Amino acid sequence: MRFNKAISPIKVLSFDLDDTLYNNHPIILNAIQAMQSYLQSIPEWAVQQGDYWLKCRRHIGETQPHLKDDVTNWRKVALEYGMSQLGLENKEVARHSVNAYQAFADARSNITVAQSVLSLLLALKKKYTLIAITNGNVEVDKFNLAGVFERVYLAGPDGAAKPDAALFERACQDLKVSPSEILHIGDSLDTDVRGANLAGCHSVWLDNQQTTYAYKGLADIEIQDIHQLACLK
């Protein structure tokens, strides 16, 4: 654990979810495969040339850029758009769009967080209020993080995506704390650390992704393993 800055007294620990508390890479791949398997079962979709899903997603991202802060609605709207281009009846467009998204969502939340991580969170919960702030669309109540967090803030429904300060500001308002009383832990310098820093919160960078980031600012604390947070107990 490396300290780059002194930390003022903390009341709230805020956690990113994907790739912070579990490895999200295989989960996303499985979720995309589940959605694609359903889509390929639709004859009109299956005969489309190239990566038709990617074309639909890109089209909606370009024509409705406001949806990029809400990955759930972006996916849903892109599916509806793609179906609507296939000559299907409206009821079939709606049915297939819902089913394709549900295939994705079910696999997306098929997660088991390691017992050691759960034990760490429950120990920290005795001293701090625990919340989650995520740009993703995982449904925490569907796996073994259910009940761990006081609140879960999702980009889109609860505010603009990190690194925008909106989700952090919402948390401060709801929990009646100052930004300096929140310590946010996440794996991304670009979204988690930058977002927390911009909001005036303290930040912990979990350096576990071997990724090159654009943000050159420093986290207040750097760790290589989530279990290093045990010193906060």
Tens of pLDDT along 195-211? 999 999 999 999 998 89
Sign of the C-alpha dihedral, residues 47, 48, 50, 53? negative
Residue 18: helix, strand or coil by DSSP?
A: strand
Q: Whole-angstrom Cα distance, residue 193 to residue 162?
A: 9
Peptide bond into 9 cis (omega under 30): no
The predicted pLDDT at position 163 comes to: 97
The predicted pLDDT at position 158 comes to: 95
What pTM does this model have? 0.91
The predicted pLDDT at position 150 comes to: 97
Q: Whole-angstrom Cα distance, residue 164 to residue 37?
A: 35
**Pair of tokens at residue 129:** 């209020």
Residue 200: helix, strand or coil by DSSP?
A: coil
The predicted pLDDT at position 226 comes to: 98
The predicted pLDDT at position 130 comes to: 98
The predicted pLDDT at position 50 comes to: 87
16 is catalytic: yes
The predicted pLDDT at position 233 comes to: 85
The predicted pLDDT at position 49 comes to: 87
Q: Which of 16, 18, 70, 187 is catalytic?
A: 16
Nearest 5°: phi and psi at 187? -90, -15
DSSP-assigned beta bridge partners for residue 93: none
- The pLDDT tens digits for 126-159 are 999 999 999 999 999 999 999 999 999 999 999 9
The predicted pLDDT at position 132 comes to: 98
CB burial of residue 150 (10 Å; 0-12, 13-18, 19+):
middle
What is 40-89 written as a DSSP string?
Answer: HTSHHHHT-SS-HHHHHHHHHHHH-GGGGG-HHHHHHHHHHHHHHTTT--
With a cut of 50, list the residues of the chain below it in pLDDT: none
